[in-house]
Amino acid sequence: MTLLRALLIGVLALTITADASAAKAKKKKNKGSLEGIVTAVEPGKDDQKDSGTITVKVLAGKKKKAAPTGNEPEKKIAITKETKFEKVSGKKGQQSAAAATFSDIQKDGRVAISLKTGSATDTAEKVQIEQSKKKKKKAKAS
């Protein structure tokens, strides 16, 4: 009887450990985010100034460092009043973030969006607006 009890406790402990490691692996896979270029910005109604929808041309992942080909899928993302916004500037590793609003999103701007999990529609939880890089003016040779 004690052997059966010890075996049962061992199997139960393995089951709990396996469930915990599977949950961690699932949590690490962050499929709820995307990066892209804004193709359209549609503000919400007057009483909801920090909400609306944005259409984003989704860019390929980092491993495929190819230039945009024009056939990237577009996604329509809903923005709610709970969505957090921030402007990100600087090089990788030295980035700084500042507060932003829905009105800071501009057409042809780059964004990184974290989507809400468990939502039936594509609803943004956090939007990071990448600051555009300043272009250097070429000096005219006379």
Give the pLDDT of residue 119.
67
pLDDT value, residue 28: 43
Domains and their CATH numbers in the chain: 30-130 (2.40.50.320)
Give the bridge partners for 76, in sequence order.
55
Q: What is the pLDDT at residue 63?
A: 52
Taking only Cα atoms into account, the Rg of the chain, rounded to an integer number of angstroms, comes to: 22
Read off the pTM: 0.62
Give the closest residue to 53 by CA, choosing from 111, 99, 131, 118.
111
- Tens-digit pLDDT string for the chain (142 aa): 788 888 888 777 777 876 665 555 544 444 578 899 999 998 887 666 778 899 999 887 655 455 555 666 888 988 888 889 999 888 777 778 888 888 888 888 999 998 888 766 788 889 998 886 665 556 555 5
